Structure 1
Amino acid sequence: MNLDVALWLSQDAITNGAVYALLAVALVLVYTVTRIIFVPQGEFISFAALSLVSLQAGQVPGTVYLLIGGGVLVVAADSLRLPRAVALQRLPGCITRQMALPLVASGIAWWSASRPDNLWLQIVATLVIVTPLGPMVYRLAFQPVANASVLVLLIVAVAVHYVLTGMGLVFFGGEGLRSNPYSSLSFSLGVLNVTAQSLLIVFASVTLMVALWFVFERTLYGKALNATAINRTGAQLIGVSPSFSGQLSFALAAFIAAISGLLIAPTTTVYYDTGFLISLKGFVGATVGGMASYPLAAVGSLLVGFLEAGSSFWWSAFKDSLVFTLIVPVLLWRSLATPHSEGDERQ
């Protein structure tokens, strides 16, 4: 390996690491607030990328029907938990609250599908479709078992992953798709050919992380999430709803995953299950950071990006294996260095 090759690999590492960092931050957010390992995050990546491709082809993506169906299920779940008389009284308001956004998103999707040349409208439509799926998933799958152990929540997360993967196969088929590039601009920087797409990925990643810092440090909603992450019972005592915090954290995680899907859509062929492998690499980065620190999760994700780039040059056949092997010594060290008690998983 010479200097030129090292620069090329570093460029790939930074670009890929920026995407992994976004996903790692989302994983840490969901885990600290809800104790849920967000296994289905990969499906939101695939849904966003494939929905964008469908809109560019002038088709309404299947995720629109998933969103409407999820809204109907949320209405049913909210109605069933109330006495019949109360449920009938509150049903109109519940339908209005839960179905307004899916119907608006559907209208935007239909409008965007009729204008396949409007890239910005397609991006907005994709985000409006995919982001609300996050709180819907939390409401239907996780909120009923929110006080269960971490192991039970992990099992539910895996089940949700398989359900969403199957739906992705039904909606988009088994063929890989790639969206149109956002820009064809590029320029030379020494031996490097820097594309506008790679710069967009890095810029979007940094901007979104700064925006998340502002949300957590300067807004009431961010402080509510921080309070829930530190002490769920204490946050509830001061008026912070754990259910609201869980849905908000899933909404932010789904939004971040959707942004990640939009960023990678022009750079790689995306299949219905592609997002799972990408999110696993984000999980490795988050684990390296201890699943508790946002800056360390971002640094760990950059480490994953450099390890992946280096292994693709030296041992390309074992690239993914080496990346996932990184998690073994980290988990072993943390297991030996961290004291345990029977109440840890219930805190």
Structure 2
Amino acid sequence: MDLSIASILALDGLTNGAVYALLALATVLVFAVTRVIFIPQGEFVAFGALTLALFQAGKVPGTVWFLLVLAGLAALADLVNGVRHHSSPRRIARQMLRTLAWPVIASAIAIWAAPRGLPLFAQALLTLALVTPFGSLIYRLAYESLADASVLVLLIVSVGVHFALVGLGLFFFGAEGFRNPSFWDARFSAGTVTLTGQALIIFLASIALIVLLYLFFERTLTGKALRATAVNRAGARLMGISSAGAGRLAFTMAALIGALSGLLIGPTTTIFYDSGFLIGLKGFVAAVFAGLSSYPLALAGALGVGLLESFSSFWASSFKEVIVFSSILPVLLWRSLSDPHREEH
């Protein structure tokens, strides 16, 4: 291996690592606020990329119907909960309207826009509008009633949600893979290294989102409320911070990050209905490097995972996944030896 090959591999690794960083940050965010190890994070990536691909083909994506079904179930849950707590009909209707408003409006726009061949950027925004609400709806239907359960129970639920979403992905998108067009076709050369416009967009979008997340958590009241919930759920609840609201917001942000990651990675690789699992799992590996608690360490771990994957594909392409996922073992061993063991009550 010479310097030119190493530079190309490093650029490829950093590009992938930037996407893994977003997924790692989303994983850390969800776990810190809700204690959920959210295995289906990668499914948001696949849903985002494949929804955009169907828009490109002039078809109404299946995510529209899935979103409407989930919103309908959540609205039904609002009705049952309101009746159980003897709420007024007006209050129940208002809550149901809040639940249904965004999904119905986004779905109606998607059905209207699908055959009209809107510009790529407009289709990307519509994709984000469709996939982002999945986070809150999935949390409400699958996790909210189990918010105080053990981490093991929540993990089992995550496994079930993952399999359900993979099966629905096959139903909605089929087994065929899709590769989306690049958002920017420019190329920049520096010696033997060529930086594509899409790779530059990935870097800039990742940096911008990381900065926005930092400002959100440091400068906004809502962000500080999420941090308080992550530090002490019971204490935050006593201070008037809704743990259910914090969980919904955390899952919504995770869905947005996952959908955006799908839009970014879609032009660089072919995405299938089940591709999100491996992509999300690499983000999870990076999050484990950070102990599922530190955002800066998650970022560093994601870049390390990307570089490890890239160089492994050169030295032992058949075993690159094994090498990447095996790298988690020494980290787990080190954390097991260095951190005190605590029983969960």
TM-score range, shorter chain: over 0.9
2:5 paired with 1:8: no
The TM-score, its normalising length taken from structure 2, stands at 0.97
| 3-state SS of 2:277 partner | helix
- Map Cα deviations across residues 151-198 of structure 1 (whole Å, 9 max, x no partner): 000000110011111110000000101112212210211101110001
Aligned counterpart, 2:102: 101
- Does 315-324 or 102-111 show the bigger shift? 102-111
1:1-347 to structure 2, matched below 5 A, reads: 1-83=1-83, 86=87, 88-343=89-344, 346=345
| 3-state SS of 1:148 partner | coil
**Consecutive unaligned residues in structure 1, runs of 5 or more:** none
The TM-score, its normalising length taken from structure 1, stands at 0.97
- Across the aligned residues of Structure 1 and Structure 2, the Cα RMSD in angstroms comes to 1.2
Q: How many Å separate the matches in 1 of 2:255 and 2:75?
A: 21
| 3-state SS of 2:272 partner | coil
Q: How many Å separate the matches in 2 of 1:76 and 1:117?
A: 34
| 3-state SS of 1:104 partner | helix
Q: Is the 8 A contact 2:82 2:92 kept in 1?
A: no
In the TM superposition, what is the alpha-carbon distance from 1:61 to its structure 2 partner? 0.5
Q: How many Å separate the matches in 2 of 1:187 and 1:231?
A: 48
Which runs of structure 1 show a deviation greater than 4 angstroms over 4 or more consecutive aligned residues?
none
- Does 110-119 or 178-187 show the bigger shift? 110-119
Query: What is the number of residues matched between the two proteins?
Result: 344
| 3-state SS of 1:36 partner | coil
The alignment-based identity, stated in percent, is 53
Q: How many Å separate the matches in 2 of 1:293 and 1:73?
A: 35
Q: How many Å separate the matches in 2 of 1:109 and 1:122?
A: 9
Q: Is the 8 A contact 1:179 1:265 kept in 2?
A: yes
Q: Is the 8 A contact 1:27 1:286 kept in 2?
A: yes
- Map Cα deviations across residues 7-37 of structure 1 (whole Å, 9 max, x no partner): 0100101100000000000000000000001
Q: How many Å separate the matches in 1 of 2:207 and 2:161?
A: 30
Q: How many Å separate the matches in 2 of 1:129 and 1:283?
A: 24
Q: Is the 8 A contact 2:78 2:96 kept in 1?
A: no
Q: How many Å separate the matches in 2 of 1:87 and 1:94?
A: 11
- Map Cα deviations across residues 198-243 of structure 1 (whole Å, 9 max, x no partner): 1110110010000000000000110010000000000001110000
In the TM superposition, what is the alpha-carbon distance from 1:89 to its structure 2 partner? 4.9
- Map Cα deviations across residues 269-300 of structure 1 (whole Å, 9 max, x no partner): 10001011000000111111111000000000
**Consecutive unaligned residues in structure 2, runs of 5 or more:** none
- What amino acid is aligned across from residue 68 of structure 1 in structure 2? L
Q: Is the 8 A contact 1:79 1:87 kept in 2?
A: no
Q: Is the 8 A contact 1:80 1:87 kept in 2?
A: no
Q: Is the 8 A contact 1:112 1:125 kept in 2?
A: no
Q: Is the 8 A contact 1:40 1:164 kept in 2?
A: yes
- Map Cα deviations across residues 73-116 of structure 1 (whole Å, 9 max, x no partner): 00111222333663755442233111110111112212331332
